[in-house]
């Protein structure tokens, strides 16, 4: 028997198979997770190919000039950006339709100069450096009044939408606030409480807990859209990813390294997405946001029912997913 569970953040329903536990090997697409294309074997993100990317916005490097070798982490504009930070937001109407100009910014963070190092193989120090450059880019983009929401995300593997296999993450700065996480606002308005803080209070000792560190809680959410979906939530209430502290970055880097290794080892090297949910910027203050990370292994391809109804069918109960991930996390140094 399955249950329809309410996802309070997305204000949507998820069908969860309560007792059925598909093993990672039961998902056929995991095995082909990393067949991303590199056109003609050439990779513009590799060290030495700096002239093939747009000029860098920021980098961590050891005594070398911008756009030359010698960097550790590099932020560049996305060459194929759908957005441009130029002028003001304009609304255009076409009868019953409406559009805005593509005001915004799309950036890429290249996480290592080396092509053959996968994200989970990076050192905790490098992951901390990646978090720092993401925080700095977030705060820099947030300083522009025209930007209303900053989405940080990572696609790993072809089923997660990665087109280049060289380890990287991306930032899209948007001129409007997506409606996706409206549930946190609705929850605050109804209860005068932060939804994520209430989730932490309820789940801390629950069967969906995966791990706890000094600054973060890892858990499988009550109504996960994807098998083995896991959230990484800062214990301290904080609205913006941009206000992450040095201690939190150090702790988070270690947690992400450990969890990404567990995921790769336990789930058959899957494609996955990692996204940061955070509060909007430069808009009238709305209480209820609490930034956190969603990690979604992509063991299934979205099918007709998800497209048509928005209701995800998840064949792995989060209680069973959490038990497996919790054991794997506990046995890993
Ligand atoms: Zn490369
Ligand atoms: Zn909170």
Residue 264 maps to which CATH number?
3.30.428.10
Centroid of ligand 2 to alpha carbon of 291 (angstroms):
8
Q: Among all ligands shown, which has an atom nearest to the Cα of 291?
A: 2
First to last CA, the chain: 37
Centroid of ligand 2 to alpha carbon of 321 (angstroms):
24
Tell me which DSSP letter residue 209 carries: E
Q: Under a CB-based contact definition with an 8 Å cutoff, are residues 68 and 51 in contact? A: no
Nearest by Cα to 276 from 124, 188, 150, 162? 150
Distance CA 221, CA 23 (A): 19
Number of structural domains found in the chain: 1
Return all residues near 164 (Cβ < 8 A) that are at least 6 apart: 36, 37, 38, 43, 44, 45
Task: Please provide residue 79's backbone torsions phi and psi, each rounded to the nearest 5 degrees.
Answer: -60, -30
Task: Please provide residue 322's backbone torsions phi and psi, each rounded to the nearest 5 degrees.
Answer: -65, -40
Q: Among all ligands shown, which has an atom nearest to the Cα of 114?
A: 1
What is the predicted pLDDT for the residue at 326? Answer: 97
Q: Under a CB-based contact definition with an 8 Å cutoff, are residues 302 and 164 in contact? A: no
Centroid of ligand 1 to alpha carbon of 113 (angstroms):
7
Nearest by Cα to 85 from 65, 63, 107, 58? 107
Each residue's pLDDT tens digit, 283-321: 999 999 999 999 999 998 888 888 888 899 999 999 999
Catalytic site residues? Answer: 168
Centroid of ligand 1 to alpha carbon of 40 (angstroms):
12
Strand residues in 18-128 grouped as ranges (E):
58-61, 71-77, 91-94, 97-100, 105-110
Beta-carbon neighbour count of residue 77 at 10 Å?
18
Nearest by Cα to 316 from 225, 203, 219, 204? 225
User: Six-digit token pair at 18?
Assistant: 């309560």
The b-or-e profile of 99-133 (16+ CB within 10 A means b, else e) is eeeebbbbbbbbbbbeeeebbbebebebbbbbbbb
Q: Under a CB-based contact definition with an 8 Å cutoff, are residues 44 and 168 in contact? A: no
Centroid of ligand 2 to alpha carbon of 310 (angstroms):
26
Q: Among all ligands shown, which has an atom nearest to the Cα of 217?
A: 2
Strands 12-17 and 312-314: parallel
Per-residue pLDDT of the chain (333 residues; tens, 9 = 90+): 789 999 999 888 999 887 666 666 777 665 544 555 555 578 999 999 999 999 999 999 989 999 999 999 999 999 989 899 999 999 999 999 999 999 999 999 999 999 999 999 999 999 999 999 999 999 999 999 999 999 999 999 888 888 888 999 999 999 999 988 899 999 999 999 999 999 999 999 889 999 999 999 999 999 999 999 999 999 999 999 999 999 999 999 999 999 999 999 999 899 999 999 999 999 999 999 999 999 999 998 888 888 888 899 999 999 999 999 999 999 987
Domain of residue 218, residue span: 2-330
Q: Is 170 helix (H, G, I), strand (E, B) or coil?
A: strand
pTM: 0.94
């Amino acid at each position: 028997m399955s249950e329809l569970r309410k996802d309070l953040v997305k204000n949507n329903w998820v069908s969860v198979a309560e007792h059925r536990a598909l093993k990672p090997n039961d998902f056929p697409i995991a095995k082909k997770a990393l067949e991303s294309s590199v056109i003609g074997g050439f990779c513009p993100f590799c060290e030495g190919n700096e002239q093939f990317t747009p000029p860098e916005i920021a980098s961590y490097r050891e005594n070398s000039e911008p756009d030359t070798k010698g960097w550790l982490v590099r932020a560049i504009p996305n060459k194929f950006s759908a957005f441009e930070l130029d002028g003001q937001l304009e609304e255009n109407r076409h009868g019953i339709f409406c559009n805005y100009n593509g005001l915004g910014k799309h950036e890429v963070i290249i996480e290592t100069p080396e092509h053959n190092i996968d994200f989970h193989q990076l050192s905790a120090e490098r992951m901390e450096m990646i978090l720092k450059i993401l925080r700095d880019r977030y705060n820099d983009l947030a300083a522009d009044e025209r930007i209303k929401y900053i989405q940080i995300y990572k696609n790993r593997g072809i089923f997660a939408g990665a087109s280049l296999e060289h380890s990287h993450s991306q930032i899209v700065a948007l001129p409007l606030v997506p409606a996706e996480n409206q549930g946190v606002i609705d929850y605050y308005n109804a209860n005068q409480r932060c939804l994520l803080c209430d989730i932490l209070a309820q789940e801390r000792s629950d069967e969906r807990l995966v791990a706890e560190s000094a600054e973060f809680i890892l858990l499988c959410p009550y109504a996960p859209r994807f098998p083995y979906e896991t959230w990484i939530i800062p214990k301290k209430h904080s609205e913006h990813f941009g206000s992450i502290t040095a201690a939190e970055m150090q702790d988070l880097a270690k947690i992400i390294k450990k969890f990404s290794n567990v995921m790769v080892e336990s789930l058959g090297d899957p494609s996955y997405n990692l996204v940061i949910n955070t509060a909007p910027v430069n808009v009238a203050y709305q209480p209820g946001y609490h930034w956190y990370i969603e990690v979604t292994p992509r063991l299934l391809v979205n099918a007709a029912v998800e497209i048509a109804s928005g209701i995800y069918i998840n064949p792995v109960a989060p209680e069973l997913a959490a038990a497996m991930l919790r054991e794997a996390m506990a046995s890993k140094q």
